[in-house]
Amino acid sequence: MKTIGLIGGTGWVSTLEYYRIINEETNKRLGGLNAARCILYSFNYADINECNIRDDHEGVYKFVLDAALKLKNAGTDCLVLCANTMHQYVERLDEEIKLPIIHIADATASEIKKHGLSSIGLLGTKFTMEMDFYTKRLSAAGINSLVPEKPERIFIHNTIMEELLKEIFKPESKKRFLEIINDLEQKGAEGIVLGCTEIPLLIKQADTHLPIFNTLEIHAKAAVDFAIKQ
């Protein structure tokens, strides 16, 4: 079994779920008392947020690079960035670290293709919805991405930052998310990618008839695929 290097704390609420799912899935597949071999580096998210407020992407990358180097030096066999947004740094990180990185968008694209869908609605932080680091991966797999209008993007981003990262789940926020999902369906979305690992803590498959792609769960299981593959 390979050792998984988790870069978490972005935020800690979803990182807990990564740890749980990775260990449960490992045990489900291997049985007995088997659990995952993993090493977790967890950020103080306030440090990341201060960089984001200053639009200091280089500062965020330095935090990610430092974490990745620590995990590599600790003996991990792969890296898992426990946040969709952090994948904007994957290509650069890959060049410097020379360690397999389990890409959340690639794993999600594979799952979408299994459902035979070609157009999805993408929810996430403003970075994930507005930059192309995520949608270009989906596009390479033949998947078109629809994102909400700007007011809805602002609402989603602010809800993530002000509520979900603090483990606050409001019924009224959930209601608004579902309205946005319905709007994306009207625009042609055949499924919805929960492209922030905190969103699946608020929105569940039971909340909508559209296929929901829980990127946290998909990513965690992809890490297990890598770790136990012979």
Residue-wise pLDDT tens digits, 148-189: 999 999 999 999 999 999 999 999 999 999 999 999 999 999
124 contacts 85 by C-beta, under 8 angstroms: yes
> Do 3-103+218-228 and 104-214 fold alike per CATH?
yes
User: What does the mean pLDDT of the chain come to?
Assistant: 97
pLDDT of residue 75: 97
pLDDT interval class at 230 (50, 70, 90)? low
Best CA proximity match to 188, nearest among 123, 139, 117: 117
Residue-wise pLDDT tens digits, 48-72: 999 999 999 999 999 999 999 999 9
What CATH number is given for 104-214 in this structure?
Answer: 3.40.50.1860
Q: How far apart are the first and last CA of the chain?
A: 8
pLDDT of residue 229: 87
pTM: 0.95
Which residue blocks in 115-205 are alpha helix, DSSP H? 126-130, 135-140, 150-162, 171-186
CA dist., res. 224 & res. 204, Å (int) = 22
Q: Which CATH class is domain 3-103+218-228?
A: alpha beta
69 contacts 97 by C-beta, under 8 angstroms: yes
CA dist., res. 14 & res. 83, Å (int) = 8
* Domain residue extents for the chain: 3-103+218-228, 104-214
* Portion of the chain with pLDDT greater than 90, in percent: 99
45 contacts 12 by C-beta, under 8 angstroms: yes
